[in-house]
């Protein structure tokens, strides 16, 4: 059997938060630590995805740097994994263009995320940009380029991975060869971490209220104050009711007060975040280290991408 190739990405659109960690990054480290010697792991800061929304250029550069430092701070090892900025490897964009020839606009238009993001803009298609519509094709290119066999994804991305399989099978069907490998979903045990201020939606880098998320760079005091002011309801006790109380969890906490629960959560979260924050602080200012990691990652990812891109171009006659 061919060896395993694991690929995943995170947008450098802010400092990673607790949701990113519990929902994705923690699994990446575990996958690295448990991996067989011949498993290849690629983790990308997907900056090309980040620009599907208008970004301030200076801010984006800073976030790219901080996010790279964070991947090291959580325990990813650049000797063991390929850690790279997506835009450093132009094969991602090239393959995306070629695969656009397999991507139906009907399928893309039915994507839940597209429908959600455009629900309010229906009257104003001037505002809707093409890369927001087509970014699932870039995601497909990201994974297919590296002959990825397994992609750890959250629930929100499962549909896009199904699309990637569709694109791979479509391409192979048209060009009559097994050039692209339809990737499998690696279902992670990860949970969706909810916003602290709007607990019906998930914690996210882009929510305007900074108190809605706990950053992996937050001090103990800041974490405590964010959790203290987190939105709860006025129902006695703690239960998990998906519809009535979507922000709560945990049956074994049934009879404790909200105050005690918040203290317990604060203590658990600060314990988890503090060592990551401290490592991040010691890495983020080390420009030469971060440059070296990015350069190494770009070289390894470029090498990993080359055979697939070559085969695809040959197959279509380019």
User: Minimum Å distance from CB 188 to ligand ADP?
Assistant: 8
**Least spacing, CB of residue 35 vs ligand ADP, in Å:** 18
- Considering the candidates 64, 202, 226, 300, report the single residue annotated as catalytic: 202
Q: Tell me which residues touch ligand ADP (CB under 6 A).
A: 10-11, 13, 19-20, 22-24, 154, 156-157, 192-193, 202-206
Sequence-distant (6+) residues with CB within 8 A of 149 are 2, 3, 4, 5, 6, 181, 183, 184
Q: Given the complex with ligand ADP, which of 80 and 192 has the nearer CB atom? A: 192
Can you tell me the distance from the alpha carbon of 84 to that of 44, in angstroms, rounded to the nearest whole number?
5
Report the alpha-carbon distance of residue 303 to residue 92 in Å, rounded: 12
Closest CB to ligand ADP belongs to which residue? 23
Of 102 and 188, which CB lies nearer to ligand ADP in the complex structure? 188
Q: Which is nearer to ligand ADP, 20 or 266 (CB)?
A: 20
Catalytic residue among 64, 205, 226, 300, which? 205
Q: How far is the CB of 12 from ligand ADP (least distance, A)?
A: 8
CB of residue 20 to ligand ADP, shortest distance in Å: 4
Question: Could you give the 3-state DSSP secondary structure of residue 152?
Answer: strand
Buried b (16+ CB within 10 A) or exposed e, 139-172: bbbbbbbbbbbbbbbbeebeebbebbbbbbebbb
The Cα–Cα gap between 58 and 52 comes to: 16
If you ran DSSP here, which 8-state letter would residue 194 be given? B
CA 89/CA 212 separation, integer angstroms: 34
Tell me the closest approach of the beta carbon of residue 219 to ligand ADP, in angstroms.
20
Residue 205 or 280 with smaller CB distance to ligand ADP: 205
Residue 307 neighbours by CB under 8 Å, 6+ apart: none
Catalytic status, residue 117: yes
* Vertex 295: Cα angle to 23 and 28 (nearest 5): 15
Phi, psi of 230 (to 5 degrees): -60, 145
Task: Give min distance, CB of 183 to ligand ADP, in A.
Answer: 15
Specify the residue, 190 or 312, whose C-beta has the smaller distance to ligand ADP.
190
CB of 273 to ligand ADP, least distance (A): 15
Give the neighbor-by-neighbor strand order of the sheet with 184-187: 82-85, 40-45, 5-10, 150-153, 184-187
Kindly tell me which of 18 and 309 has the beta carbon lying closer to ligand ADP: 18
Q: Please indicate whether residue 115 is annotated as part of the active site.
A: no
- From the candidates 4, 30, 117, 262, which is the catalytic residue? 117
Q: Which is nearer to ligand ADP, 144 or 194 (CB)?
A: 194
Is-catalytic flag, 205? Answer: yes
Active site residues: 117, 202, 205
């Amino acid at each position: 059997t061919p060896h395993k190739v694991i690929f995943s990405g995170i947008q450098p659109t802010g400092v990673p938060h607790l949701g990113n960690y519990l929902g994705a990054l923690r699994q990446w480290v575990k996958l690295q630590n448990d991996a067989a010697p011949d498993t290849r792991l690629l983790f990308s800061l997907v900056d090309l995805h980040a620009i599907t929304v208008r970004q301030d250029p200076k801010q984006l550069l800073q976030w790219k740097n901080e996010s790279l430092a964070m991947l090291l701070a959580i325990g990813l090892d650049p000797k063991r994994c390929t850690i790279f900025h997506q835009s450093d490897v132009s094969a991602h964009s090239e393959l995306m263009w070629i695969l656009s020839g397999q991507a139906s606009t009907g399928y893309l238009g039915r994507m839940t995320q597209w429908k959600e993001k455009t629900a309010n803009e229906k009257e104003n298609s001037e505002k809707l940009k093409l890369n927001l519509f087509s970014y699932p094709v870039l995601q497909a290119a990201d994974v297919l380029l590296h002959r990825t066999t397994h992609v750890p994804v959250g629930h929100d991305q499962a549909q896009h991975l199904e699309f990637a399989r569709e694109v791979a099978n479509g391409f192979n069907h048209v060009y009559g060869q097994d050039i692209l490998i339809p990737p499998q979903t690696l279902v992670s045990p990860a949970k969706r971490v909810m916003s602290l201020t709007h607990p019906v939606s998930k914690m996210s880098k882009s929510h305007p209220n900074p108190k809605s998320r706990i950053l992996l760079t937050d001090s103990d005091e800041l974490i405590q104050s964010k959790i203290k002011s987190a939105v709860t309801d006025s129902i006695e006790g703690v239960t998990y009711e998906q519809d009535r109380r979507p922000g709560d969890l945990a049956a074994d906490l049934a009879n404790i007060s909200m105050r005690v629960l918040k203290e317990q959560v604060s203590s658990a979260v600060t314990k988890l975040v503090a060592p990551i924050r401290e490592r991040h602080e010691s890495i983020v200012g080390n420009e030469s280290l971060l440059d070296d990691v990015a350069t190494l990652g770009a070289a390894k990812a470029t090498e990993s991408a080359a055979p697939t891109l070559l085969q695809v171009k040959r197959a279509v006659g380019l």
